[in-house]
Structure formats: C-alpha cells, structure tokens
Chain A
C-alpha cells in the first residue's frame, strides 16, 4: 500500500509552547484516519500543518510522495472542511462551490460540470441558488464538503465537521461521510474529540495527547488493547473501571489483588512477564463484567448495587466491590434496586493490565 500523506519528524512551537514534537505519521492511500484527542492536544494544529495553514518549525510533510512542506495550501492537493462550515456568507451555494475554481481560472463549462457532479453526490442541487444563511446546519456542512469535492483533491481534511450539529443530524451526517468515503475512496484525515465518530468512521485512529500520538491502530484494537492508561481511559463511555492493586502468586497461579480480594488472571494475554509484587492497574470495561453469569470466568465475586442508571437499551449499574466503585453494563430488561446483592464474573481475555508507574500496558 502506498502512502498518501506522510509526516516526518514534525515539530511546531509557538514561542516556548511546544504544540507538536517530533511527530511521525504515515497515512495510507484511500485510508480514513481519525485524529482523536481532547482539546489542546494538537490534533487541529497537526491538521492545519498538513493543510499548509500553519508553518511547522521543523520536519517535513509529503503528500502523494511530493514534499509540500513549503508549498501554499492550494498547491497541496487538499480540501478542508471546517467545524464552523466557513461558507462565504455573501455568495450563493453555487458561487461558494465554484470560488476556488474561479480563482484558479478553470473554464466555465468545466466548473458547471464539476458542480453538477458534486451537488448530485451530496444531494444539494435544490440549494444551489440559495445563500448560506438560508440553509440548515446539515445543509451548510454538506455544501462545505462539496467545496472540497469540486476541487478534485487527493486528500480531504475534516476539522471537527460535525461538532456544531445537533445529535440527530450528527449521526445522520456521520453515515453520509462514511458513504462518501466508500464512494470516492479518497484519503481522509478527520479530527474529532468525539470517540463515537472516531470508532465508527475510522480505518485507523491516532489518539493524541500533548502533541504526541499515543496509539495508532484500528478502532477495535484501540478499544480492546489500549497501549496505556490514558488511551484506556479516553476511549469508551462510560469509561473503563480502573482497580489499583498488585500482582501476587496464589496456588501456583498469578492473580491480581486489591483490598484483600483476588482476581484470577486466567486467559489474560500479557505483553510482559507478570512478576508477583508488581504494582499494576486492572482495567475492566463495563460491558466485560458479567452479572449472575456462571459461563464466564472461573470465579464469582459478591457485590452490592449502589445505584442504577437505566438508559433504555441497556442499564448501567454502579457497584461497590473490593473497595472500588465499578460500573457494569447489563441488558435493559434487568432491573436492580439499590442495595441488591449480586454476583460478578470477569472476562480476563478482554481485560487490560497497566503498570502503575509507567502506565504502559503489561
């Protein structure tokens, strides 16, 4: 697979503040890559560097094998979609779409042809004569995507394109962007802080924190095998349960101990040796803890329901166990009153263990 965008040793600092530090990233041809992180992690800065709107202080950027580090944004073969749509308010939709082409002095009939194609793909033909102010948020964002589409670019850059929309529209447009990617097969780089968008859209996700990529992998790998405590806590809602304790030896088997309670680690796929006495953090996702189910795991733990949060499709229980408060996701049909006693079992094949000091996966 060839690389569409490759970033080598990229650094950017504003004065003393280092936003990006020696960042390397390879984006494959036709790949949908999501940059995910909380605000201020440098994900939008990285996107602006790729677009050429910010000048890096060090490193190189290649797009389609061409070194574009010093190129103007228009010469990079990129199109960009912004969170605030950034449609020119005084121009009609048609003029908005054609602005870039008119600036580049593309022949009139060519412009018309490209607008016809883009507006057909995005289903915005009836809107062409309207001004942006007369459009709804979803329509505006569609036009903004169209503006990138007409320019026949290699790489699409999305800067939190759905964050200004309400929840319903967001999920609709999310599906449309995915469909668009399947149809066009362009490389797309998508910045978001919404993990649902990241998990649903991405071929690969790059999770960023303070200007560095923490983990770059397929969504399911990131979800099931986070490389460190930060990634584990960032992905997943409600967030993963973390139990602080240490490893111990019990009857010839390695177990995890916290507050005098032992958890068997049978089935855990360890990256490094599980030496007894090591301080670790056990991470368990709410849906990987089972209630009154004797099929999973080798041992049962008694727990007490603290509070219950019914969410319709499923039901979130907050439990007290082994000195920690844990959240457990169960089917929506089962209800538990506060104070109810139940038995827990744990699926260690999908659990995560992190070193308490380095916070890296064990």
Chain B
C-alpha cells in the first residue's frame, strides 16, 4: 500500500501507472439484485411453490380433525393438532371387510418390492453386461427387440401375460407379480446397464480374460464393484416404480395381497360413509413416504450414477 501512495504522490509524470493501479482489480463485483438473479430465483420460487402448496395442504389437512376441515379453510394451519387420522389410516381404516388400515398393504408392498427389485436388477445387470461385453451372434437384434418392448403400451400386453401366468400356474401369486415386474423392468434397466458397462474401458474386460476369469468371475469380481453407482440408479428407479405401481398390483394379485397403492385407492375411493379427508390425506402421505425417503437418502448418489453413465469412468 505504501508503494501505491508514494507512486501517486511523488511521481507526477506517472499518471499511466496510477491509472493502472486504481483501475479494475481483482474479483469483479456482482450485484445481488441483477435482472438475471431476479428471473432465475423468481422462476425457481414459483416452481417450488407449485409443488409445495399441495403438499402443505395435505400435511395440514391430515393433522386436523373433521369438524375443523368442514369449516373449509384448507390453507389455515390446524388449530388443534391431532395425529388421530394417521393412526386411523395406518391401523383402522376399512377396505371391504378388513379394518386393519394401510399396514396390511404396506407389508404386502414390501413383500412384493424386495424380491421384484432384487430379481429384476440382477437379471437386467447380467443381460446388460453380456450385451456390452460378450457380443454374441444376434446380440444387437436381441437388444433392439428389447428396446422396442419399452415402447409397447402395457395395456396391450396385460391379457396375454394373464394367460401366460395362468398356464404357468402362478397367476395371482407373489411369484407371478415378481415375474411381471422383472419382465417389464427389463428394457429400461438393460439399456441402463448395457450403456454403463459399454462405457467402461474394454481393456479391463480383456485383461480379466487374459487373467483367466470367466463370465461370472468377471461379472462378480471386476464389473460389479465398478458398477455401484448404476446399481443405485437402477434401485431407485425400481423401488419407486414398483412401489407406485397400481395396474399390475390390481390385476395380478388377490385382494388379501393387494399392494399399498391399491389399498389406498380402495380407502380413498370408498363410496360408503363419510369422506374422511384427514384420513385420506394421511394415508396418501404414508403411501408416498417410501419413494420420498428413497429420493432424499440417495438423491446425491442418483445424480452421480446418472452422470457416471454419460462420462467415461
């Protein structure tokens, strides 16, 4: 600093130097309220509001008693917080003859979810791996057929699938539903895994073959440990997809093993008795909680996995 002041005072002829010193220097200042920021944050705020207001209404309504709801102020916070609707939704709400609430559907969904996710991801990752690394005759054709499968509407395939399951003797059973989820998860998951494995350097696969590893050894000892991010992505896709599934659940299971979504529908859409909005809201929130938690816990991994598929590792 002393240098600058001496420069300015003593050397009258050094105007140019003084201008250099006092001119723009270091980081460029940024205005907090620039037009760009207003548009950017304004848009984000509106978008966030769009999604959060319905959620707010649901949460608030689920914590009110019925008399308070009938007053019609859906945006006002509860005057008296009650957890009664949540308890009722979980353990007492009636669907048909059963009055044990959503808990039955929750456990049914878990029983459907776990094997479906495990089996579908295993099958898809193995087929993706073999399509990427063990090019066999007709592998491209096989892959194309699989991808085309992703574009056919589910409704078209329901009746044939019902017949197929009946002939296999697994219609209406948990096994049948797991098979259905595995098959319908195949196109997108296989594509996901194939592209990920194809993005890994092919030399790794060659090196492993020279080291004497076979199909399964390369899969389990080389590929699997490197594919963790894409497994997380596949898991999130399948957990949310299968948990939120309604169509297959209602078609391929019997009432006593209906998944949570089907049971939720039966509670909310029941035409008899009083509409218990608070219970309905609580039941919906309970049903949506699982995918929501999965996203919150693994969101960061999810983004990393998606990016890992695009960038060479």
Residues on A close to B: CB < 8 A?
48, 51-53, 72-74, 78-80, 82-90, 99-100, 103-104, 147, 151
**Chain B 203-214 against A: per-residue CB contact (8 Å), 1 yes, 0 no?**
110111111110
Please tell me if B43 contacts chain A, counting CB pairs below 8 Å.
no
Q: Are A103 and B210 in contact (CB under 8 A)?
A: no
Residues of A within 8 A of B207 (CB): 80, 82, 86-88, 147
**A78 closest partner in B (C-beta):** B210
Q: Are A84 and B201 in contact (CB under 8 A)?
A: yes
Contact for B211 among A52, A85, A90, A99, CB less than 8 A? A99
Residues of B within 8 A of A87 (CB): 207
Q: Are B201 and A86 in contact (CB under 8 A)?
A: yes
Residues of A within 8 A of B222 (CB): 88
Q: Are A83 and B203 in contact (CB under 8 A)?
A: yes
A-B interface pairs (CB < 8 A), number? 57
Q: How large is the interface on B (under 10, 10 to 19, 20 to 34, 35 or more residues)?
A: 10 to 19
Please tell me if B269 contacts chain A, counting CB pairs below 8 Å.
no
CA distance A90 to B225 in the complex (A): 7
Q: How far is the CB of A329 from chain B (nearest CB, A)?
A: 38
Please tell me if B226 contacts chain A, counting CB pairs below 8 Å.
yes
Q: Are B206 and A74 in contact (CB under 8 A)?
A: no
Main secondary structure of the interface of B (DSSP, over half): helix
Main secondary structure of the interface of A (DSSP, over half): loop
CB-CB under 8 A for A100 and B212, given A80-B206, A86-B207:
yes
Q: Are B209 and A53 in contact (CB under 8 A)?
A: yes
Q: A53-B209, A74-B210, A86-B204 are in contact. List 4 more A-B contacts (CB 8 A).
A: A48-B206, A103-B212, A104-B212, A147-B207
**B214 closest partner in A (C-beta):** A103
Please tell me if B144 contacts chain A, counting CB pairs below 8 Å.
no
Contact for A86 among B206, B217, B221, B226, CB less than 8 A? B206
**A159 closest partner in B (C-beta):** B203
Q: Are B210 and A84 in contact (CB under 8 A)?
A: no
Q: Are A84 and B209 in contact (CB under 8 A)?
A: no
CA distance A80 to B201 in the complex (A): 15
Name the 7 nearest CB pairs between A and B, nearest first. Answer: A74-B212, A100-B211, A86-B203, A86-B207, A82-B203, A90-B225, A103-B212
Q: How far is the CB of A106 from chain B (nearest CB, A)?
A: 11
Residues of A within 8 A of B201 (CB): 84, 86
A/B interface sample: 5 pairs, CB < 8 A: A73-B209, A82-B206, A83-B203, A90-B225, A103-B213
Q: How far is the CB of A88 from chain B (nearest CB, A)?
A: 6
